[in-house]
């Protein structure tokens, strides 16, 4: 079974450029999560969706960040304009509804983003 697929795996871009990270959740999963991992702040939840609807975006750092989930099999996290402090590993995770609360979130391999 295919896991969560993220692209690109690595992104290096200059400050001020728009960055788009992509995620394909596991088929049949109805919840999708975007996380950011840094040395200073650890793993932080940015936003999550249930059934393609954003439920909690309180972790989104500022208006430069936006996320969409146009359908059940695709989500994007966009940063515009990007800044060096956005450099981090960004993870996407998905979770199925069946089985209730004990279902784990399954993570993609992450996108390592470097803003110069």
Partner 1 sequence: AQKITQTQPGMFVQEKEAVTLDCTYDTSDQSYGLFWYKQPSSGEMIFLIYQGSYDEQNATEGRYSLNFQKARKSANLVISASQLGDSAMYFCAMREGQDGNKLVFGAGTILRVKS
Question: Footprint of partner 1 on this chain (CB under 8 A)?
Answer: 31, 33, 42-43, 45, 48, 50, 55-56, 89, 91, 93, 95, 101-102, 104-110, 112
Asked if residues 90 and 38 have their Cβ atoms less than 8 Å apart, the reply is no
Q: Which is nearer to partner 1, 25 or 110 (CB)?
A: 110
Report which secondary-structure segment, H or E, holds 79.
Answer: strand 74-79
The least distance separating partner 1 from the CB of residue 61, rounded to whole angstroms, comes to 17
The least distance separating partner 1 from the CB of residue 7, rounded to whole angstroms, comes to 15
The least distance separating partner 1 from the CB of residue 100, rounded to whole angstroms, comes to 8
Q: Which is nearer to partner 1, 2 or 15 (CB)?
A: 2
Q: Which is nearer to partner 1, 50 or 76 (CB)?
A: 50
Q: Which is nearer to partner 1, 42 or 70 (CB)?
A: 42
């Amino acid at each position: 079974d295919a896991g969560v697929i993220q692209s690109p795996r690595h992104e290096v871009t200059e400050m001020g450029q728009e960055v788009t990270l992509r995620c394909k959740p596991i088929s049949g999963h109805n919840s999708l999560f975007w996380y950011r991992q840094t040395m200073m702040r650890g793993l932080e939840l940015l936003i999550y969706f249930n059934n393609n609807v954003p439920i909690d975006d309180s972790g989104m750092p500022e208006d430069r960040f936006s996320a969409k989930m146009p359908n059940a099999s695709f989500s994007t996290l966009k940063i515009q304009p990007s800044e060096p402090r956005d450099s981090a590993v960004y993870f996407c995770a998905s979770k199925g509804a069946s089985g209730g609360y004990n279902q784990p979130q399954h993570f993609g391999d992450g996108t390592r983003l470097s803003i110069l």
